[in-house]
Chain A
Amino acid sequence: MSPVMTRKIYILILFIVGMFSSCTEESNPVYDTDNFTTIFDNNQFDASFFPIDMRQTPDGGYLILGGRKLDESDFTGIYLLKADKFGNFVKEIEVDETSVNPIAKLTAFQNKYYFFCMDPITQEAQLADVDAELGAVTITPVQGGLTYPTAASFVDDHFALLSYDNGNKESVISLISVSGGVQASKGYSIGTGEDVEEPIINHFIRTGRQFPFEVGKVSSNLYFFNGFFNYTFSLVFTDISSDDPQGVVQGQQDDGGFSAVTSLGGSKFASSRFNFGDNFVLPNENLSTTGNSSSTDLGGYSLPEMVENASVRILRATIDSKNVLIYGTDTKSKQIGLLFYEESAGTFLSSRYLGFSNPFEIANLIQTEDGGLAVCGTTYLAGRFPRICIFKLSKAKLSENLN
């Protein structure tokens, strides 16, 4: 065979192989970070883990603040887990039992991640921090003798902390510096009598219902907390200096109130409420930040698919340049339900459900740097072992929920 002929045959073979191989679906590491489901399993029969909050780290990975069952205490142990950007387990820390009851939110500030927890002996609040690689956890006592921390957020370079003072039977809202100093603090009575306190204590030792305590800032010098006030689980507005709240949206003792609240600016709020087991979604509602009002008068979209007094998380997200509200909740089908609403008008867009086969419960959801969504929750492997899980959804998948 002549060299020219041989060369032509080689070219033909290369052309044919190239043609056949060009139609294949290429692997791409980006796909592995775009979408994944991960369940972090521990093979100990008695182990029990649940997530509380999650943050994405600068390396694209995920830092999860969680709780764990303690053998020798009624309180919840502190559990921290680091996953890489693919959702693979990297590291975990089981903080020793000198600090317990970690609470949301896990806050990123100046290369550190902060959260509040509690001294199990004095019940006083502690501020913990850790780096993105889960090095050593540093725990600092919070000044001012604040006890039973229930919820926290980070605004204007300081923390807003909601705690419970069981001596004075008060819900206490405070502003705490990053070093643990108290900058402002005000307590509001929950009412008198043992019965009023009982659900709060049961919340702490997890023998009763977990209440959706929250705290945050509405506008300049106006803060809110979702907690017990005057015998009811209420949404309370305060400047953290006046003896009386500026406004209260009352619930129905511990049977009604808000299950999630997010300020949209001014008096507009995205919220959800519970009332004797029923759930109502209010994606765009003007709430009175002054005077007294009642949450039962607010109406809202009733969603029978949600479990009784469901946990609800609200995320403000931007998808395809559109501002949306994503409600994450637990459904009766034991899935995590995501409900998408347009933020400006509160109109319903679509829904998505995560998890199947085993039960799944929501802990929190965040928008990721790639424009996607990460949802962390608890699943029960083999139908019984509580384990932490992450669902990562790509930006493209989220876009499907807008169209």
Chain B
Amino acid sequence: MFKMKRLSLLLLCCLLITAASGQEKKRKKPSSPAYKEKKAREDAKFLNKQWWLGFKAGANYSKVSVEKTYSAISPTNYEFSSIAKKYKNYDLVGSQATLEVTFYFKGFSFSFQPTYQHSRFFYTNSYEWSSETDADNHVQLNFEQEQKVDHAIIPLIVKYDITGDKIRPYVQIGVYSAILINASKEVSINGIDNAAGGVNEFKDEALILGAKDLFAKNHWGLLGGAGLNYNLGNNVRLNLDVIYRYGMSNIVSTKNRYDSDRLAGVGDAMDDLTLDNLTISVGCLFPLRFLSSGFKTLDLK
């Protein structure tokens, strides 16, 4: 399903590039030097202001930071650290697709980039029971839990174009709000049971369950990043965009932490977490203001 979405976006980009290229071919050349000079001045003035519309999509890697640890298991004779969750950061690839609307003014851009983001993060923990008198009496359970969380990201971004050449690098900062769309968890349990008369290594079938209630409906954060725009010279910019989203609030529902009997029953409870994402996107941008009714490009370089 998600692959289809990305394919559709790519096709849309290609169509727009083709259309824009066609417009470029129809462009009429100025007839005299005076006209050219006047036109250049007008274009330069015109270029100080522009609206851009674009699409981009790409991959993201997630990192979670634990604000407060929770567990349904409370040890009575051993340290909690031995069963604490171990998170694997920047380990699983997520994805995102973004619609971009940007207003450019004298080197600065103010950008609204609603994004559908699919994040994945992972943690493991294990429990062990053993006997002081019989070494064979030993059971170990290992839990692997993958979280898949979909958010609608609503950011406001300010960009600054470092140079105005054909390749236009920029830096950007902003703030975003994220609205939870969906979430699921995949829990895999494996272990070793020595108490059955031999070494019994087992692996249960993964448990996949909806977990939307376990996550906060909203969270927010700050973002910063950099990117490159490459002017194709035909009304179109190709865009490479790197953003680091730094979560500022808890992504876990504090009210519903223990609502999943399936998870609480095996001792799991979500920690309070903030979510960071490193996103890498590629896409294209199209101007919305044109020099003439013939959709002439604004980019001179």
Contact = CB atoms under 8 A, between A and B. Distances in A.
Co-assembled chains A and B: yes
Interface of A: 16-17, 20-21, 23-28, 31-32, 34-46, 81, 83, 87-89, 92, 335, 353-358, 360, 379, 381-382, 384-385
A81 B76 CA distance: 9
Given A35-B258, A45-B129, A356-B262, A25 B219 contact: yes
6 contacts: A20-B177, A24-B218, A24-B219, A25-B250, A45-B138, A81-B76
Contact of A27 (B77, B156, B263, B272): B272
Given A16-B156, A43-B78, A358 B265 contact: yes
B130 A45 contact: yes
B129 A89 contact: no
Chain B residues touching A, range: 35 or more
Contacts of B134: 45
Contacts of A31: 254-255, 257
Interface of B: 67-68, 72-78, 127-134, 137-139, 141, 156, 175-177, 191, 195, 216-220, 248-250, 253-259, 261-267, 269, 272
A33 to B, nearest CB: 11
Contacts of B67: 27
Given A24-B249, A81-B76, A360-B265, 7 more contacts: A36-B72, A38-B73, A45-B129, A45-B138, A45-B195, A46-B131, A356-B264
Contacts of A385: 129
A41 B73 contact: yes
A132 to B, nearest CB: 18
Contact of B127 (A16, A23, A27, A41): A41
Given A81-B76, A83-B74, A356 B265 contact: yes
Nearest to B155: A20
A39 B217 contact: no
Contacts of A26: 254
Interface centre among B72, B127, B134, B249 (most CB of A within 10 A): B72
A25 B265 contact: no
B250 A24 contact: yes
Nearest to B263: A357
B138 to A, nearest CB: 7
B250 A37 contact: no
Contact of B128 (A20, A43, A357): A43
A44 B74 contact: no
Nearest to A388: B76
A353 B258 CA distance: 13
Nearest to A89: B74
A46 B77 CA distance: 13
A357 B266 CA distance: 6
Given A25-B250, A27-B250, A46-B131, A89 B265 contact: no
Contact of A381 (B137, B216, B254, B267): B267
B77 A20 contact: no
B139 A45 contact: yes
Contacts of B129: 43-45, 381-382, 385
A326 B177 CA distance: 43
B261 A356 contact: yes
Nearest to B131: A45
Contacts of A92: 76
Contact of A41 (B75, B133, B156, B263): B75
Given A358-B265, A358-B266, A32 B254 contact: yes
Given A88-B74, A381-B267, A382-B129, A37 B216 contact: no
B177 A87 contact: no
Nearest to B269: A37
A218 to B, nearest CB: 38
Contact of A37 (B138, B217, B264): B264
Given A36-B258, A43-B130, A25 B216 contact: yes
Q: Which of A25, A42, A353, A355 has the most chain B CB atoms inside 10 A of its CB?
A: A25
A46 B136 CA distance: 12
Contacts of A43: 75, 77-78, 127-130
A89 B130 CA distance: 21
A66 to B, nearest CB: 11
B254 A28 contact: yes
